[in-house]
Amino acid sequence: MLQNQAFLFIFSAVFAIILICVDLRGKKEQKPFFYRLALALISAGALGNLIDRLFLGYVIDFLDFRIWPVFNIADSAITVGAVLLGYSILLKPKTK
């Protein structure tokens, strides 16, 4: 699925990293811990996969548990970050 679409993945990763940096540096108020952690995990995972794509042309998936699809640490960071981001957005304290 989406083979030979390296440009799409490279563009998406760079775009996501730029948006995350802009968001974290944008406003002066302190952002919640889980929100910052989630964005850090997502950007780190995107950067890890981006480095593989730029230098190797593909992403190396090296964790294979035989009962689950093969993945890598960067994929795990993105997934955990996305769950934490959803958690931090859904349970954000209400302001007046």
Q: Exactly one of 23, 52, 64, 75 is catalytic; which is it?
A: 75
DSSP conformational letter for 63: B
Q: Is 69 left (phi over 0), alpha (psi -120 to 50) or beta?
A: beta
* Coil, helix or strand at residue 15: helix
Our answer to whether residue 64 is catalytic in this structure is no
Residue (of 38, 36, 35, 46) closest to 72 by Cα position: 46
Our answer to whether residue 52 is catalytic in this structure is no
Residues recognised as catalytic: 61, 75
